[in-house]
Chain A
Amino acid sequence: MNIFRLTGDLSHLLAIIILLVKIWKTRSCAGISGKSQLLFALVYTTRYLDLVSTYISAYNTFMKLIFICASYATVYLIYMKFKATYDHNHDTFRVEFLILPSFVLSLLINHDFAVLEILWTFSIYLESVAILPQLFLVSKTGEAESITSHYLFALGSYRGLYLLNWIYRYYAESHYDLIAIVAGVVQTVLYCDFFYLYVTKVLKGKKLQLPA
């Protein structure tokens, strides 16, 4: 565990908590893509199946359980409890265009052709693009609430911090995982446009509004 990975994990945790609290407090999931949240639930489920086979640490197990539970809770709030506030007219990204290629790619490029390993690989590929329905929704409505922007910033920072963690681990432990690294770069790059808007607008107290 190094500082980049710890802050990355905490940033990830913060993002999930921000989203849950936002939906709960406002009793609304307006502006949030249910499809991205469904994809994240699928990501955590397929990645953390090793909870039953491999013990890493109490920290690792605890965080995995939190991520799985929080993602299902978020999906529940969006599709069940606060369904009336869900922006389904704008949440129209075709998720099969993300799920199917991720799955095919995980069959082709993986560390080991075994069920758990392929599901892990699938989760890495899918996570890298799972935010696209959310970014698509923001681009369709042309704006995002500040709290949604904070959520996106925390979530985007997490993989960016993991990139630093992987650079550190490469030099300190000679450890690297090319599948995670390439997917992590893709994932972080997808947020770049948003990061720019966040720094130039949201941090200056303005609403994140896209040019018409």
Chain B
Amino acid sequence: SSDGNPHDEL
């Protein structure tokens, strides 16, 4: 999903 994730991409 798109909620709560830290942005782990560059």
Contacts and interface: CB of A to CB of B under 8 A. Distances in A.
Interface of A: 5, 9, 12, 47, 50, 54, 56, 60, 63-64, 67, 111, 120, 162, 165, 174-180
Contacts, number: 32
Contacts of B3: 111
Interface size grouping (class) on chain B: under 10
Which secondary structure dominates where chain B touches chain A?
loop
Per CB-CB distance, the 4 closest pairs between chain A and chain B, nearest first, are A177-B2, A54-B6, A56-B8, A63-B10
Interface of B: 1-3, 5-10
A12 B9 CA distance: 13
A179 B9 CA distance: 13
B9 to A, nearest CB: 7
B2 to A, nearest CB: 5
A8 to B, nearest CB: 8
Given A47-B7, A50-B7, 18 more contacts: A9-B10, A12-B10, A50-B6, A56-B6, A56-B8, A60-B8, A63-B10, A67-B10, A111-B2, A111-B3, A174-B1, A175-B1, A175-B5, A176-B2, A177-B5, A178-B2, A179-B2, A180-B9
